[in-house]
């Protein structure tokens, strides 16, 4: 076992802590140069770290992380800050040229300086500086005898997109708070700045709402879980659940904000709501189903049980969102995701109450009811200074001007939304669903859908060709989605997410050419250094050669699909 584990790690040479050449950075910077013949800067116990105006947060973070890894104090200089070995500051000229998330990093024999367009840029520059020190800079305690050198480089950098995100589904399988904090650090290490938390679904409700305690007393727990996909005959009979207290959420949001990561909460309406109905049966369509007998779903897929189209249901969810808005302040999380996808209409078709509601509202049938739900919360959130975002089904029936769309069923929804003047986050399942299998090998654990390799993700393009310039300006960016039906623990999440998230991070950060012209061999070579960083961080990624024995799940059925995924 140890031999297999060691085969993943980059070979070390003695007590050196090798610095990483600038071309090995991930994501790739906008421009990189080296100073020929210049000596590196060596960090010593006498090295100091100074923060100029706007750089205080990044400097505090860097001092903490590098202090743990190197054992060096990196204290502020006693005198002139300009004499510090390391310096981080916000610079107006840099901001004008590179924007608030841009930075310039210059390192030479006398030290290193990060000049940034804003506090976020200072933080991303500090992340690059850490990468340059080599993989051991990601450890939590110093290894004996290491020396620490920064190569002589000049880097100018800024992101391509403002929304660089990952959805983490904590509803299907709950991830404890410490795991979420860990993923925030992993996102930040890759210069990703949005964590979309999928907090509710048929299989669980994961956030405390104090006025509705049964949402977590009942809705956060299910009696068992299917082991594998829906075709699997296997069950894990251990009850599963968990939720975040309101203080947990406040901690998560604050922790993310310190790392310039925005947390976007998702509360699903009107579908994917069985956990809420199981807790409060009046939320369901009680005239056609015995809602008092419903339980939190133990299976995967889409439950047929959806919210009833009543004023009482609207008031209930307004209460949910009132508490949610307090937990996710507008200055750090202006968007609220309301789902809006995959809402079966069978109960509404059969329900006399729902049919009467259709006539009362004058909407176009059951599809009109779904649009009525979405438009209500669109206006409700806008009146409170927030922006609604939902899956591309929310386009059906029309949207208020401020609403944004997560385009998951291919590019089509995003194109339609952008051409109509709505902001869009591109997350087409055919390209960036990280629950999809990574190869066609039978060793892939619980294989889902189509093969999406590391190279496939590297060739993803968030702005589809043919989009007009005005519409392209509405593409806020992109996110990779991690749905956890078959990811019961951190190791399985790590395996599905990494290394593909590194490729995605480069796509949304770096100024890459068209997909066919991207330097895949060059990226693959840079991943050699990056695997060593992931090892130091303790990430259980999928090795290039395929899953290690303990990463496989032989005999547990998934749902593989053959061929290329169809575009939509």
Token pair 């860990």 is at which residue?
Answer: 182
Active site residue 272: yes
Structure-block tokens of residue 436: 């999809």
Start-to-end CA span in the chain (Å)? 44
Q: What are the angstrom distances between the C-alpha of 476 and each of 29, 33, 95, 402, 426?
A: 20, 30, 20, 13, 8
CA-based nearest residue to 267, from 180, 210, 207? 207
Helix H or strand E encompassing 335: strand 335-339
* DSSP string computed for 99-147: -TT-EEEEEETTEEEEEESSHHHHHHHHHHHHHHT-GGGG-SSPPTT--
Cα–Cα distance between 428 and 436 in angstroms, integer?
12
Residue tagged active-site, from 113, 136, 201, 266:
201
The answer to whether 228 and 485 have CB atoms below 8 angstroms apart is no
Cβ within 8 Å of residue 153, ≥6 positions away: 22, 32, 33, 34, 35, 105, 106, 107, 132
How far apart (Å, rounded) are the C-alpha atoms in residues 155 and 103? Answer: 8
Closest by CA to 483, choosing from 202, 264, 173, 256, is 173
Q: What angle do CA 452, 458, 463 make, to 5 degrees?
A: 100
Closest CA to 58 of 259, 192, 261, 252: 259
- Catalytic site residue from 185, 342, 419, 455: 342
For the purposes of burial, counting CB atoms within 10 Å of the CB of 162, is it exposed (0-12), middle (13-18) or buried (19 or more)? middle
Active site residue 201: yes
Catalytic residue among 190, 198, 272, 431: 272
Active site residue 312: no
26 touches 190 (CB < 8 A): yes
Instruction: Give which of 121, 124, 134, 117 is closest to 40, Cα–Cα.
Output: 134
Distance CA 498, CA 480 (A): 11
Q: What amino acid positions are annotated as catalytic residues?
A: 201, 272, 342
């Amino acid at each position: 076992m140890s031999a297999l584990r060691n085969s993943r790690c980059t070979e070390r040479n003695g007590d050196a802590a090798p610095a990483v050449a600038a071309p090995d950075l991930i994501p790739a910077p906008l421009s990189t140069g080296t100073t020929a013949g210049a000596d590196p800067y060596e960090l010593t116990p006498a090295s100091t770290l100074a923060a100029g105006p706007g750089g205080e947060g990044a400097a505090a973070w860097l001092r903490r992380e590098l202090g743990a890894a190197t054992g060096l104090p990196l204290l502020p200089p006693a005198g002139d800050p300009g004499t510090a070995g390391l310096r981080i500051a916000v610079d107006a000229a840099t901001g004008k040229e590179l924007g608030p998330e841009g930075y310039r990093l210059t390192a030479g024999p006398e030290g290193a300086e990060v000049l940034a367009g804003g506090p976020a840029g200072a933080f991303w520059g500090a992340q690059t500086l850490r990468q340059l020190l080599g993989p051991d800079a990601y450890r939590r305690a110093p290894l004996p005898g290491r020396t620490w050198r920064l190569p002589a480089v000049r880097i100018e950098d800024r992101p391509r997109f403002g929304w660089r995100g990952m959805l983490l589904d904590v509803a299907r399988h709950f991830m404890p708070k410490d795991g979420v904090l860990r993923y925030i650090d992993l996102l930040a290490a890759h210069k990703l700045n949005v964590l979309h938390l999928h907090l509710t679904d048929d299989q669980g409700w994961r956030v405390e709402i104090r006025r509705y305690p049964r949402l977590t007393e009942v809705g956060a727990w299910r009696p068992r879980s299917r082991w594998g996909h829906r075709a699997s005959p296997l069950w894990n009979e251990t009850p599963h659940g968990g939720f975040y207290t309101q203080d947990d959420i406040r901690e998560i949001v604050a922790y993310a904000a310190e790392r310039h990561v925005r947390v976007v909460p998702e509360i699903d309406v009107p579908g994917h709501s069985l956990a809420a109905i199981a807790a409060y049966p009046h939320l369901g369509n009680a005239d056609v189903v015995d809602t008092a007998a419903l339980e939190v779903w133990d299976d995967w897929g889409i439950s047929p049980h959806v919210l009833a189209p009543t004023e009482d249901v609207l008031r209930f969810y307004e209460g949910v969102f009132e508490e949610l808005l307090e937990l996710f302040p507008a200055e750090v999380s202006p968007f609220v995701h309301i789902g809006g996808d995959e809402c079966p209409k069978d109960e509404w078709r059969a329900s006399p109450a729902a049919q009467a509601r259709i006539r009362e509202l004058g909407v176009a049938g059951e599809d009109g009811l779904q649009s009525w739900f979405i438009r209500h919360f669109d206006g409700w959130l806008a009146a409170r200074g927030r922006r609604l975002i939902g899956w591309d089904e929310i386009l059906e029936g029309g949207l208020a001007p401020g609403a944004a769309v997560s385009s998951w069923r291919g590019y089509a929804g995003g194109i339609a939304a952008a051409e109509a003047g709505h902001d869009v986050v591109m997350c087409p399942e055919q390209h960036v669903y990280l629950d999809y299998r990574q190869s066609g090998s039978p060793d892939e654990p619980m294989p889902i859908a189509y093969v999406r390799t590391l190279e496939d993700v590297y060739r993803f393009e968030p702005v589809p060709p043919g989009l007009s310039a005005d519409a392209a300006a509405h593409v806020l960016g992109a996110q990779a989605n991690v749905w956890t039906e078959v990811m019961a623990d951190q190791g399985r999440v790590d395996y599905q997410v990494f290394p593909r998230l590194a490729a995605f991070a480069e796509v949304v950060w770096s100024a890459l050419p068209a997909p066919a012209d991207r330097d895949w061999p060059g990226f693959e070579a840079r991943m050699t250094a990056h695997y060593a960083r992931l090892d130091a961080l303790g990430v259980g990624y999928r090795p290039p050669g395929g899953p290690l024995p303990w990463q496989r799940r032989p005999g547990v059925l998934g749902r593989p699909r053959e061929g290329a995924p169809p575009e939509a």
